[in-house]
Amino acid sequence: MADTDELVNRVMGKLLDASNSGSKPATKNVGKTDLTEFVGTAPVGDTIGMVIANVDSELSKNLHLQSEFRSLGILSARTGAGPQIMAVDEAVKATNTEVVSVQMPRDTKGGAGHGSLIIVGGNDVSDVRRAIEVALADVPNKFGDVYNSAAGHLELQYTARASEACHFAFGAPVGKAYGLIAGAPAGIGVVMGDTALKAANVDVLSFASPAYGTSYSNEGVLHISGDSGAVRQAVIAAREVGLKLLGTLGEEPKNDFPSYI
Amino acid sequence: MADTDELVNRVMGKLLDASNSGSKPATKNVGKTDLTEFVGTAPVGDTIGMVIANVDSELSKNLHLQSEFRSLGILSARTGAGPQIMAVDEAVKATNTEVVSVQMPRDTKGGAGHGSLIIVGGNDVSDVRRAIEVALADVPNKFGDVYNSAAGHLELQYTARASEACHFAFGAPVGKAYGLIAGAPAGIGVVMGDTALKAANVDVLSFASPAYGTSYSNEGVLHISGDSGAVRQAVIAAREVGLKLLGTLGEEPKNDFPSYI
Amino acid sequence: MADTDELVNRVMGKLLDASNSGSKPATKNVGKTDLTEFVGTAPVGDTIGMVIANVDSELSKNLHLQSEFRSLGILSARTGAGPQIMAVDEAVKATNTEVVSVQMPRDTKGGAGHGSLIIVGGNDVSDVRRAIEVALADVPNKFGDVYNSAAGHLELQYTARASEACHFAFGAPVGKAYGLIAGAPAGIGVVMGDTALKAANVDVLSFASPAYGTSYSNEGVLHISGDSGAVRQAVIAAREVGLKLLGTLGEEPKNDFPSYI
């Protein structure tokens, strides 16, 4: 337990450092509450973290969870699914918790993409609280390669070692490198995907588009797996072509946090 | 028929009184039309009411109605499904009409929730027109416990005696008390639901979330039934925790019409 | 090949003429790119056209295309499905290409309707590029009977001779007249549809609404086929009633390009 705590503290310290290097404060100056269920917010995407120490059994049965647990941690956002899923992926690596639900509303407040509802389960409320704290702290980093313009957005994600959240949400093989390449409007994601696959030798997990594998969002999303160098190279090649294409529809797309890939 | 008319007039009088106590006019100062199909608008949610006296049979066959009727009444809105469904619930109690379709588009004009398309059927156009008039007049009241902020919204609904619209849309047992508890972003609805079920002894009908029982809206929605006092108590407990949680994402959520619960 | 080129040039000339008669420039003054994949943009709906000369085979397998082709042409937009589908309908008539995918995200940037992702296939990149050029040039014309207000929108489309895109997307019989009649919020589309069917003797292909045949958009959409005069008459009658109904929810709905029906 001491070892786990130390590991978690090291991970959180690193995440907070990275987050603070961005141009925005790590936490919004928002109204506080003394509710025990409230964990915190992230400074992007209207992202809120909460816990339920001992979930009502009737509620639990109706939540469509993969497995039932005594304690639930909840990460919920209006804007962003990929960043929050990647942040939870780090969080479950670092804590004794399990991903039990990943849902993607068609949201982004008038934008082209998804919001998110992610639930992790654990046998102890301190575990799930820690997981949500780790995830909240990491959300800004994982927005580092989200590029927005008035016309649409791009999202790139990369991890050298996918864990449970990427597996649950996107079918990524656990322990292997995983990459997400998204463009909106969706056609930009198709061309980005083609570019990625020509840039490096990687495995296609799936291609999501408005009618397949999204919640009718206006995104084309390639999910890839493979050798870490190749996945990263594919993601970077796709980013370059995506920025050019989305730029033809207006101003240059911008990220709000520093790129991490 | 005289009795029914009197009842309807009494119900409408009461609804209009309640509606006028709000801070907004009961009807928008909108462009008028002499179309016989037009019934009126409500002053919230871009809600419009219409009737078709004698529906084209080919259209009727393609509308996916639960039963076919000669006359159709239509309530349609950009923002709000719960308030309009609850308003139609009152309307069908008071008129000789039947709910034949309830559909929930993913709308709210960039918000996190649903709009609505509700169709009632009757054998006489005066019946369906009356139903739509009653529903339009009641819509503002049923927005009384909808609380909005820039980050999301809460919705609470309660009736001591559910009727056909609640049954059709949410599986509420007819004649029993029914409550709706919704929070957006969706995770807030999960915690509100847990709070509600711990506050009073009620039956869970279902829990709707982005991937289950919504049209990919960013809401967590608990539907409950049971003893009227218990249902009301559960709804009120959930409202309190919801207001605190949504408030952490920015300003205090506000309702545009007086609370009725 | 010379004949085809001449035909295409004539068609494009005509489309560009029609487009230029509108009040907006035919192409946005947007950032240019030297990417070979980029074809151009249309001045409405954040519409972008792209081509892939030789699509990666793994991507192709994952795109859910009706048939696989070496070269793909892509038309993708944030706002508008009908206009882009009708424009591609003209484009496939005029070029040696085939429609292989039509997807309708729930988009319109906070509006009530759809965006679009349309993919055409061909054996030669010059064919698919030409198809996308023709479609881009025609998009503004096909927005001629899209009427917007703050509360919603109407869309009317008409062709005397439907081709592959209308067939693929809406089940329109190829070679016959086809009409699309849409209103948002959805209930307005129901009344428009009823009006259309009483105005002329046409065949109902389907009626789409939030829960049936849309991507949860807030539209009621009647698809009709039949004699060209009758289809046109039905569409015009529906437009008149739709403008009156949508006008009751606020200001008069306006089209941004000249009506073509």
Q: What is the DSSP string of C32-97?
A: ----TTEEEEETTTTEEEEEESS--HHHHHTTT-SS--SEEEEEEESS-SHHHHHHHHHHHHHSS-
The DSSP bridge partners found for residue A99 are: A120
* Closest CA–CA distance from residue C174 to any residue of chain B (Å): 22
Is A26 within the bounds of a domain?
Answer: no
Query: Do B250 and B148 have their domain in common?
Result: yes
Instruction: Reduce the DSSP state of residue A220 to 3 states and report it.
Output: strand
Kindly state the tokens that stand for B237.
């407990």
* Closest CA–CA distance from residue A221 to any residue of chain B (Å): 18
Instruction: Select the residue of B74, B107, B119 nearest C218 (Cβ to Cβ).
Output: B107
- Contacting residues for B245 by C-beta, under 8 A, at least 6 apart: A33, A35, A37, A38, A48, A50, B183, B188, B191, B192
CA distance A75 to C205: 44
pLDDT in tens, chain B (261 residues): 445 555 555 555 555 555 444 444 444 445 578 899 999 999 999 999 999 999 999 999 999 999 999 999 999 999 999 999 999 999 999 999 999 999 999 999 999 999 999 999 999 999 999 999 999 999 999 999 999 999 999 999 999 999 999 999 999 999 999 999 999 999 999 999 999 999 999 999 999 999 999 999 999 999 999 999 999 999 999 999 999 999 999 999 999 999 999
Is C229 within the bounds of a domain?
Answer: yes
Instruction: Reduce the DSSP state of residue B116 to 3 states and report it.
Output: strand
Task: Tell me the CATH number at B193.
Answer: 3.30.70.1710
> Of A121, A143, A165, which closes a domain?
A143
Residue of chain A with shortest Cα separation from B194: A56
Any chain B CB within 8 A of the CB of C198? yes
Query: Do A225 and A185 have their domain in common?
Result: yes
pLDDT digit string, tens, across residues B187-201: 999 999 999 999 999
CA distance C258 to C47: 18
Cβ–Cβ below 8 Å for B190 and A52: yes
Question: In this predicted structure, what is the pLDDT of residue A32?
Answer: 73
Cβ–Cβ below 8 Å for B112 and A117: no
Cβ–Cβ below 8 Å for A78 and B218: yes
Cβ–Cβ below 8 Å for A31 and B207: no
Kindly state the tokens that stand for A208.
């999501």
Give partners of B (≥3 CB pairs < 8 A).
A, C
- Contacting residues for C133 by C-beta, under 8 A, at least 6 apart: C12, C39, C40, C49
Any chain C CB within 8 A of the CB of A179? no
Residue C15 has pLDDT above 70, yes or no: no
Is C6 within the bounds of a domain?
Answer: no
Sign for the pseudo-dihedral over CA of C209, C210, C216, C220: positive
Q: How confident is the model at residue C32 (pLDDT cuts 50, 70, 90)?
A: confident
* Closest CA–CA distance from residue B207 to any residue of chain C (Å): 19
Any chain B CB within 8 A of the CB of A109? yes
* Closest CA–CA distance from residue C192 to any residue of chain A (Å): 26
Query: Do B191 and B247 have their domain in common?
Result: yes
The DSSP bridge partners found for residue A119 are: A74, A101
Query: Do B134 and B110 have their domain in common?
Result: yes
Cβ–Cβ below 8 Å for A76 and B188: yes
Cβ atoms of C222 and C112 closer than 8 Å:
no
Is B11 within the bounds of a domain?
Answer: no
Instruction: Select the residue of B210, B212, B249 nearest A46 (Cβ to Cβ).
Output: B249
Query: Do A149 and A76 have their domain in common?
Result: no
| Residue A13 amino acid letter | G
Kindly state the tokens that stand for B163.
């009727």
Question: In this predicted structure, what is the pLDDT of residue B23?
Answer: 41
- Number of domain units in chain A: 2
Question: In this predicted structure, what is the pLDDT of residue A9?
Answer: 57
Tell how strand B146-148 and strand B153-159 pair up: antiparallel
Section C6-12 average pLDDT: 56
Cβ–Cβ below 8 Å for B112 and A103: no
Q: How confident is the model at residue A23 (pLDDT cuts 50, 70, 90)?
A: very low
Tell how strand A146-148 and strand A153-159 pair up: antiparallel
Cis amide linkage into residue B185, ω under 30° from 0 = yes
**HSE-CB for B83 with a 13 A CA cutoff:** 35
* Closest CA–CA distance from residue A106 to any residue of chain B (Å): 5
Q: How confident is the model at residue A152 (pLDDT cuts 50, 70, 90)?
A: very high
Any chain C CB within 8 A of the CB of A201? no
Query: Do A155 and A239 have their domain in common?
Result: yes
Residue count of chain A:
261
Contacts of B220 in chain A (CB under 8 A): 117
Query: Do B183 and B166 have their domain in common?
Result: yes
Is A200 within the bounds of a domain?
Answer: yes
CA distance B82 to B138: 12
Sheet holding B203-208, edge to edge: B203-208, B220-226, B177-184, B153-159, B146-148, B254-255
Is C27 within the bounds of a domain?
Answer: no
Q: Tell me what percent of the residues of chain A surpass a pLDDT of 90.
A: 87
Any chain A CB within 8 A of the CB of B1? no
Kindly state the tokens that stand for B107.
């709308």
Contacts of C105 in chain A (CB under 8 A): 112, 185-186, 210, 214, 216-219
Residue A116 has pLDDT above 90, yes or no: yes
Cα A121 to Cα A11, A91, A154, B186, distances in angstroms: 20, 12, 31, 17
> Of B113, B143, B173, which closes a domain?
B143
Is B9 within the bounds of a domain?
Answer: no
List alpha helices for C29-144, DSSP H. 57-61, 82-94, 125-142
Cβ–Cβ below 8 Å for B106 and C110: no
φ, ψ of residue B156 in degrees (nearest 5): -125, 135
Cβ atoms of C202 and C225 closer than 8 Å:
yes
The DSSP 8-state label assigned to residue A232 in this structure reads: H
Query: Do B197 and B127 have their domain in common?
Result: no
Section C180-200 average pLDDT: 98
> Of A123, A143, A163, which closes a domain?
A143
pLDDT digit string, tens, across residues C62-105: 999 999 999 999 999 999 999 999 999 999 999 999 999 999 99
Query: Do C153 and C246 have their domain in common?
Result: yes
The residue of A34, A41, A62 whose CB has the most chain B CBs within 10 angstroms, and thus the best one to mutate to test that interface, is A62
Work out the mean pLDDT of chain C and round it to a whole number: 92
Question: In this predicted structure, what is the pLDDT of residue A29?
Answer: 42
Chain B, residues 69-108, CB within 8 A of chain A, namely 106
The DSSP 8-state label assigned to residue C46 in this structure reads: T
Question: ipTM > 0.85?
Answer: yes
Cβ–Cβ below 8 Å for B204 and A106: no
Query: Do B136 and B162 have their domain in common?
Result: no
Is B100 within the bounds of a domain?
Answer: yes
Work out the mean pLDDT of chain A and round it to a whole number: 92
Any chain B CB within 8 A of the CB of A139? no
- Write out the residue range of the structural domain in which residue B80 sits: 36-143
Query: Do C98 and C152 have their domain in common?
Result: no
Any chain A CB within 8 A of the CB of C149? no
Query: Do A97 and A148 have their domain in common?
Result: no
